[in-house]
Amino acid sequence: MGCGRVGSTLAVDLEKAGHTVAVIDQNREAFRRLGADFNGRTIAGVGFDRDTLLEAGIEKADAFAAVSNGDNSNILAARVARENFGVKNVVARIYDPGRAEIYQRLGIPTVATVLWTTDQIMRRLTPDGTKSEWRDPTGTVELVEFSFHKDWYGKAVSVIEKNTSPRIAFITRLGEALLPDEHTVLQEGDLLHLFVSERMISAVEKTLAISPRVK
């Protein structure tokens, strides 16, 4: 539902991947974004209206994405698709981070556009230091890339968890991802990717910026 920039791109990409796609939008002119090569169905109507969804083939759908410009419309359509028609894979785009957290707790998977965009811009404005690579929709847990003080070189990765609370997800070494074990030793140039609670990021950054306290 929604044939704006995101919806049209998503529909075209899904079709290129071999999926059958139907697109709903209230404005027929929006379907022009799909291009002349798009072979899916286009339905003009309200995306949370039962008859509109039935016309789009919702009863046979494996997935439903609500990506219109309205938070209320997206979450309502997502709930109808999941609760009324039993669609297994449902996601709603939400602009308001507060709403995204609420709907996530209700079991509606969301993509919090503002949070994701902010993270991406911050990574480009501040290329050094920590970089948020992923955040759960509630904003509670993040996957964060950390650099660290040179005195950590030669230390086993287990020292990281002894000095800090996060869990190590992986290490980037010479441009490649490495899943560490108890024998892995930190080297110059390594980048740490840690799962950490949002409130702990600053503390972890400060800990890794100095020599390890636990040997």
pLDDT by residue, tens only, the chain of 215 residues:
999 999 999 999 999 999 999 999 999 999 999 999 999 999 999 999 999 999 999 999 999 999 999 999 999 999 999 999 999 899 999 888 777 777 777 777 788 777 667 666 665 665 556 677 787 767 788 888 888 888 999 999 888 888 887 889 999 888 788 999 888 999 988 889 999 988 888 899 889 989 888 65
Quote the pLDDT of residue 133.
77
Quote the pLDDT of residue 97.
74
Question: Architecture of domain 5-115 in CATH?
Answer: 3-Layer(aba) Sandwich (3.40)
Quote the pLDDT of residue 114.
72
Helix ranges, the chain (H): 5-16, 50-56, 71-79, 97-105, 113-125, 158-163, 201-208
Residue 2: closest CA among 58, 37, 45: 45
CATH of domain 128-208: 3.30.70.1450
Quote the pLDDT of residue 116.
66
Quote the pLDDT of residue 63.
95
Quote the pLDDT of residue 8.
95
Residues of the chain with CATH 3.30.70.1450: 128-208
Quote the pLDDT of residue 148.
87
Q: Report the C-alpha gap between 105 and 108 in whole angstroms.
A: 7
Quote the pLDDT of residue 195.
92
List, in sequence order, every residue forming a beta bridge with 132; answer none if it has no partner.
144
Residues of the chain with CATH 3.40.50.720: 5-115
